Chain A
Amino acid sequence: MAVASAAQTHTTPFWRRRSFIQAATGWLFAAPILIYFTIFVFGPILASLAMMFFKWNGFGPLTQAEFVGLGNVTEVAGDEKFLGSFRNTFVYAIVVVGSGVIVGLMLALVLNGVTKFVGFVRSTYYLPVMLPMTAMALLWGLMFQVRYGFLNQILSFVNIPPVRWLINPDIALYSISLMVVWKGLGWYMVIFLAGLKAIPEEYYEAARVDGATGWQRFWKITLPLLKPTLLFVIVVTVIGSLQVFSPIFIMTQGGPANATNVVVYWVYMTAFQFLRFGYATTQAVYLFAVILVITVIQLRLFREGGLTSYY
């Protein structure tokens, strides 16, 4: 019998076999996704790398693009305006992520200490996260008005002289950061709160029995156990912040004196205002390379030594 059935499976045509059907089904299901990604992700990535070496106005036929070799790459390295936007982007990302993480974590700790109305409070803090950035940027642009803006009028109640929020080149980038942190705070808080809830209460009780102070409990229990959450939040928000566009486009258009000029805004301008598509792509690749390095460093930093040395 066994021999007979073995012989029978052997004579089954391969397209009837279970393993073949499974493989064919899988690839058939995956095919549309893989094709889509090839067209809209992998293709454009390769095109980006190729476009770096061309000078092209974006509208003529691609065959008329002029090969410039490393011309774009060397130009980027010495382009003061681009390098300035690069600096601004990083200052912005550090300020936004740094204050978001610190204030968001503090708020989560506070909210973790109360039991009533948690759902309501959490939702209210989260609301601005959902609101469209374009509308909020327009609103804050008005609130930042120097003479009669809402913020300066509030500050005048406590006798603080008017702040030139978006006009002073030294603080314009920080003003925008303030608005972005306000909008994003709820996101940080909700994620940290979920991370805090996942820490078993027994750890804290054991520490309390051992006589650990609140401060010690935070550094020895909360922070180490929150490490995966922190890593996730920082990696995601750094990558997101480095791509900031909407608030800059609406509130300052890169001004005053290029103080809020950021890379993605400048890439957009280079391509669509100055019609230098090859050069704009080179700028984007430049930022991407740096993001890649930073992400790898972040992942390493968290894995060994660095922030986790207190483990």
Chain B
Amino acid sequence: MSATTTDTSVSTLEPTGRARQLAAIRRLRALRWIGGQFFLWGVILLGLVFMVTPGVWMLLASFKTQAEISAIPLQFWPTQWRVNNYVETIEVMKFWRVFGNSLIITSCVTIANIFTCTWGGYTFGKLRWPGRDIMFMVLLSTMMIPGFLTLIPRYVLVAKLGMLNSYSGMIIPFLTGTFGIFLTKQFMLGIPDELIDAATVDGSSALGVYWRIILPLSKPIMAVLAIFVFDWAWDDLLWGIMILTDRLKWTLPIAIANLRVQESNQYELQMAGSTLAIIPVIILFLALQRHIVRGVALSGLKG
């Protein structure tokens, strides 16, 4: 009897007890989730501040006076926005000249790579010919060879070819790249052979297939290639200071590096020059950021 009474008392209590318990667990979980998200966002925001602050500071400094940049205590905002810094920097750096050189060289290298790498990807990925895989392995092995190993012989070669102080000396040694060929070859595995066979049956030559099928279908990988080659070529300093000794042939990185020597005490000019140098990259980034991040993940995983 007593057992049954306790039984009933428990059974009458149980539903509300369990419900309360469940509610408590749910509340705890929600709290923990909120706490977790709070922590994660705290870390993310801290990181964002760390990533963005130097750039913001550079932009602000480019409008300040020398005294404001080196003021103690820190002066974050310029008292007056001195656009004149830019006018002066453009003159000191011979900016338009240098910018034009960089643009010509980088564009040529980028466009060349788009075509040569897809060409290579097609040759080693889609065409069938004896010796293909061995030749590809030979090419791939050069990925293990860092650029600096051949730096000096390449310089000597370019000098002997009479390409010092010329655009061609900056372009011709960089017309193609193993990694780009490798990347496009991987990409082309996704292009169905049937498409190519059908075109061949219709009388297309290998060249026609490359032009009419491979190129149009390779647009996504071409975008990725273009971004990385552009970004890399735009930032090249070492090869530039070796090849280009004539000031009028200088590229942007050389002119920027030179600002530190030539205008060692004019911080506002250094910052204005740096800001000018990153503008094209920022534009490229904003326009293509989706491709960029996806491209990094892609090349990272496939490489």
Interface residues of A (CB under 8 A from B): 22-23, 25-27, 29-30, 32-34, 36-37, 39-45, 47-48, 51, 58, 62, 107, 110-111, 113-114, 119, 121-128, 130-136, 138-143, 145, 147-148, 150, 153-154, 156, 182, 185-187, 190-191, 193-195, 198, 229, 232-233, 236, 239, 242-243, 245-246, 249-250, 263-264, 267-268, 271-272, 277, 280-281, 284-285, 287-288, 291-292, 295
Contact in complex: A232, B303 (CB < 8 Å): yes
Contact B260 A245 (CB under 8 A): no
**A121 to B190, alpha carbons, bound, how many Å?**
31
Least CB distance, A143 to chain B, in whole angstroms = 6
* Size class of the B contact interface (CB-based, 8 Å): 35 or more
CB contacts between A and B, total, < 8 Å: 265
Segment at the interface with A among B19-27, B80-88, B114-122: B114-122
Contacting residues, chain A, for B275 (C-beta < 8 A): 135
Which residues B153-190 have CB closer than 8 A to chain A?
153-157, 173, 175-176, 181
B204 within 8 A of A: no
Asked if B8 is at the interface (CB within 8 A of a chain A CB), the reply is no
Cα–Cα distance between A245 and B128 once the two chains are bound (Å): 41
> Contact: B237 with A133, CB < 8 Å?
yes
Contacts of B41 in A (CB 8 A): 114
Is B152 within 8 A of A128, CB to CB? Answer: no
Could you tell me if B152 and A33 are in contact, using CB atoms closer than 8 angstroms?
no
Which residue of A has the minimal Cβ distance to B51?
A125
Flag if B127 contacts A114 (CB, 8 Å): no
List residues of B (278-298) whose CB comes within 8 Å of A's CBs. Answer: 278, 281-282, 284-285, 289-290, 292-293, 296-297
Given contacts A29-B122, A148-B71, contact A190 B152 (CB under 8 A): no
Q: State how many angstroms separate the Cβ of B299 from the closest Cβ of chain A.
A: 9
By the criterion CB–CB under 8 Å, are A139 and B51 in contact? no
- Rounded to whole Å, the gap between the CB of B211 and the closest CB of chain A is 13
Q: B238 contacts A268, CB within 8 Å? A: yes
14 CB-based A-B contacts, threshold 8 Å: A114-B41, A124-B48, A131-B281, A133-B253, A135-B273, A135-B274, A138-B273, A150-B57, A150-B74, A153-B73, A232-B300, A263-B148, A267-B152, A272-B242
Contact B238–A121 (Cβ < 8 Å): no
Residues of B within 8 A of A (CB): 36-37, 40-41, 43-44, 47-48, 50-52, 54-55, 57-58, 61, 69-74, 116, 119-120, 122-124, 127-132, 135, 139, 142, 144-157, 173, 175-176, 181, 206, 231, 234-235, 237-238, 241-242, 252-253, 256-257, 259-260, 267, 270-271, 273-275, 277-278, 281-282, 284-285, 289-290, 292-293, 296-297, 300-301, 303
Nearest chain B residue, comparing its CB with the CB of A187: B296
Given A29-B119, A288-B146, answer yes or no on A23-B130 (Cβ-Cβ < 8 Å): yes
